[in-house]
Structure formats: C-alpha cells, structure tokens
Structure 1
C-alpha cells in the first residue's frame, strides 16, 4: 500500500467576533467546517484556498497570511490529512452562485458556539485553526514557493 496524505487548504475568516464556517452534509451527517477542500493538480495552495472558499460560500477570498499547517490522522478511514490554513479578507458574496454539492451554506459562529457544538465540527482541525488564529499566529505567504528557481 502506498501512503498518500490528502493535502487540503482552509480559510480562517473572522468578522465581528464570528468565524465563517460552512454547514455541510458529509456521509449523511450535518457538520461544520472552515471553507476547505483538496489541493488540485496545477494550482498553487493560494489558488486552492481562493477556489474552495468561492465554491463553498460564494464569497471571494484574499489570503493574506498562513495561520498554520496541520497534520491529522482519521483512523476510522485510515486517512492522513495535511491542512494549510490561511487567514485573509473576504470580498463580496455572489448570492446567485451555486455552491458545491453537499454544501448547505455559509454560517457565522462565535468561538463559544463552536465549542458548544464541538461534536458537529467536521474534524478537530476546525477548533485548532481558530485557536491559532485567535492566538495571533500569522506567517508570511512567502514561506510558500510555487516552483523551483
């Protein structure tokens, strides 16, 4: 068996004390996640987080910094995830845009609401990314290199 971790991106966005999450159906379960998804071939990590945020929320997103890189094992499915979480600014929301399959829509929750609904989070990474954001963790985007010079 070849080990192949799933590389994902996530947008961590806070406005007025609330965090942007996505309410979605996954495996028949209603849950919340940051706007997030898989890194696709041919795109940069920044391209991926912009695309995923738009596809899942209808909002444009401008990444400004990296909040962290996260490793998570999902033992029930024998999967490994490597998540790159980005903070930044939202632009306008296109209300006419169809969202990805399984997405119910964007939701704005306070940190307290996320803690109270911990069992409804898609993974432990949701709270961890938020905690790092709240702790002021900000890393420059130039840590990421899209090619070799």
Structure 2
C-alpha cells in the first residue's frame, strides 16, 4: 500500500512583552500543559490569519504579526493519542490588552505571562518541544519577513 505522508499543519503566535512571553495553560489528553497560543490551520485561511485567530480564541487578545519566526517540524501524539508529525508555522508580534468579555477556547484554563527562565524550567509541562524552541529562537532574534509566506489566492479556497 502506498500511503502518502502528510504532516498536520499548525500555526502559533509568539508574543513577548517586557521580557515575558504569553503562554496558555490547557487541558490535553496528557493533562494540563503549557503552549504558545497555537492550533490547526483551518481551510480557507492563510497561516497569518490562523495565528491571529488562534491567539484571539486562546488569549482574548488581538495578535498583530510582525515577522515569521520559523517553520518547525516535530513528532508527538495527537488528541486521540496517535503518533503524528506536526509542521508549525510560528509568527511573532504584538498583542492587544485582553478583552475581559471574551470567553477563552474550550480547554484553555488561562493565558499566563512567563519569563524565559520559567518557561525553560517548565519544559516537562510543555505541549510540544517547540514551545521552548520558539521562545529560544525569538530571544536569539530570529525573524523572517512576512513576505516569506507566499499564498496563491487559490490556496485560500476551501477544498471541495
């Protein structure tokens, strides 16, 4: 049987303010975990739109991407416990103040600001090894122009 390998695409927002990073604490099949605001790219949206949507849903803040942080690959179990390859497109930028009237996504316990030292010390609670890697890359100043993410307009149409 010839099976085609297809990694799951996720998008993430890496948000830093005054030396701390905005993470979310969320319920997972493996218990309470920490993650950058992140989730699956949905049909019909660009990766930047997906990162903005996920940040709003998970933190109640409007995310404004300023750069592509990187494209990452990792392997871990999906929500059903199945081994999965993940391709994460991480963007960095700024976020507005929290909208207190906005409910957070199901499963999100809270959004929390953490220092790099706190994030490093909590790696055993990270949803993915990419959480700490993205923070490290951000601290190192890695940035790519947003124009590096090229979208053909036909890619934004949901598949039939």
Compute the TM-score of the two structures, normalised by the length of structure 2: 0.88
Shift of 1:119: 0.5
1-side partners of 2:58 and 2:124: how far apart?
Answer: 21
- The answer to whether the aligner puts 1:33 opposite 2:35 as a matched pair is yes
Shift of 1:116: 1.3
Following superposition of structure 1 onto structure 2, how do residues 1-149 of structure 1 map, counting pairs within 5 Å? 1-27=3-29, 29-74=31-76, 77-147=82-152
Secondary structure (helix, strand or coil) at the match of 1:59 reads coil
- CA RMSD in angstroms comes to 1.5
Residues 71-121 of structure 1, C-alpha deviation per residue, up to 9 Å, x if partnerless?
Answer: 001266320000011011111321111111100010111111111111011
Unaligned runs of 5+ in 2: 155-160
Task: State how many pairs are aligned.
Answer: 149
Shift of 1:4: 2.1
Deviates more, 1:86-95 or 1:40-49: 86-95
